[in-house]
Amino acid sequence: MPTALFTHKACFDHIPGPSHPEAPARLEAVHAALSDKSFEPLDRREAPRATVDQIARVHPHDFVTQVLDHIPEQGVVRLDADTIVSPGSGEAALRAAGAVCAAVDAVVATEVQNAFCAVRPPGHHAEPATSMGFCIFNSVAVGAAHAREAHNLARVAVIDFDVHHGNGTQAIFHNQPDSFFASTHQSPLYPGTGAINERGCANNIVNVPLAPYSGTDAFQEALSKTILPALHMFRPDIVFISAGFDAHADDPLASLNFTDDDYAWATERILDAAASLCEGRVVSTLEGGYNLSALGRSAARHVQALMAA
């Protein structure tokens, strides 16, 4: 079965401003990397809009409608210090969350083996009632809730290797014993959460903070010795990846030293686990990554690994 690539042109129209690192050029870099001939086997699909009801599985309904009501007709509006919306941002955020839901549908229907969602804005910092950290809605959590409620996949897992802690996903999953969240992230760094002792209501949260300048060895140890054993204990029905590529050594926003190869290796290990645990059901979505060249190369290695599963 092929790997699906979900994306939508509306994801280019979220424009937080000329000096903002979370820029449309990021998605151009990912698409350019995935335009290589080796990616022809991808099953390329247009992301649908998530419905307000789908997003309201993880965010209060009033919050969702208020955010959408705040999208300006011109200019920009700040949702927090660094989360800025433009006229196209609402549509982009709906397509980003809709991509993850549609990817779940395609994987569960065995139309595809797994899927990558090349979308923006990212989502993992968005808490139940707070857009923050470049994130409007928590797309990966919306997708996980969709797997649970539309497909009866009771146990959902998210592995987040973005350099920043996925505080939003953790907050949404904290009181859900059947939802597992594991993260490697630089510490100290924005948003400041993600300590080892943040374990969730049922040890369903696993945080591995990494000191600045940590690289391949620390990442491999975190995944092999802590996160994947915990994932096996949890026994997921589907695995999501919050695929941020800003732990790369070349990234300007952080100080970890991951390499292109690390993203291939980590993806392969997660796929191996999913193959033994949940028939290989994996849905990955783009989070951060701010050096355009490193982002394109790393995303390509990630998607190559998905295609080889």
Question: Residues with catalytic annotation?
Answer: 125
Site for Zn ion in 86-145 (CB under 5 A): none
CB of residue 140 vs Zn ion: minimum separation in angstroms?
13
205-210/156-160 β-pairing: unpaired
Binder among 49, 59, 155, 164 for Zn ion (CB under 5 A): 164
- Give the relative orientation of helices 61-69 and 89-108 as an angle to the nearest 10 degrees: 140
Binder among 246, 250, 260, 262 for Zn ion (CB under 5 A): 246
Tell me whether residue 91 or residue 287 sits nearer to Zn ion (CB atom). Answer: 287
Site for Zn ion in 178-217 (CB under 5 A): none
CB burial of residue 180 (10 Å; 0-12, 13-18, 19+): buried
Q: Is there binding between residue 22 and Zn ion (CB under 5 A)?
A: no
The mark string for 247-286 relative to Zn ion (x by CB under 5 A, - otherwise) is ----------------------------------------
Q: Torsion angle of alpha carbons 114, 120, 125, 131, nearest 10°? A: -140
CB of residue 160 vs Zn ion: minimum separation in angstroms?
9
Q: Is there binding between residue 244 and Zn ion (CB under 5 A)?
A: yes
Binder among 91, 105, 162, 262 for Zn ion (CB under 5 A): 162
Residue 20 neighbours by CB distance under 10 Å: 14
CB of residue 26 vs Zn ion: minimum separation in angstroms?
11
Binder among 90, 121, 209, 288 for Zn ion (CB under 5 A): 288
Q: For residue 128, what are its two tokens?
A: 């139940």
CB of residue 164 vs Zn ion: minimum separation in angstroms?
4
Count, in order, helices (H) and strands (E) of the chain. 10, 10
Q: Residue 185's beta-bridge partner residues?
A: 209
CB of residue 185 vs Zn ion: minimum separation in angstroms?
8
Tell me whether residue 71 or residue 117 sits nearer to Zn ion (CB atom). Answer: 117
Residues 17, 76 contacting (CB under 8 angstroms): yes
Tell me whether residue 244 or residue 280 sits nearer to Zn ion (CB atom). Answer: 244
Among candidates 91, 186, 101, which has minimal Cα distance to 142? Answer: 101
| CA–CA separation, 137 and 196 (whole Å) | 25
| CA–CA separation, 139 and 121 (whole Å) | 9
Piece of 56-64, 233-241, 260-268, 288-296 that binds Zn ion (CB under 5 A): 288-296
For binding to Zn ion (CB under 5 A), which residues are involved? 162, 164, 244, 246, 288
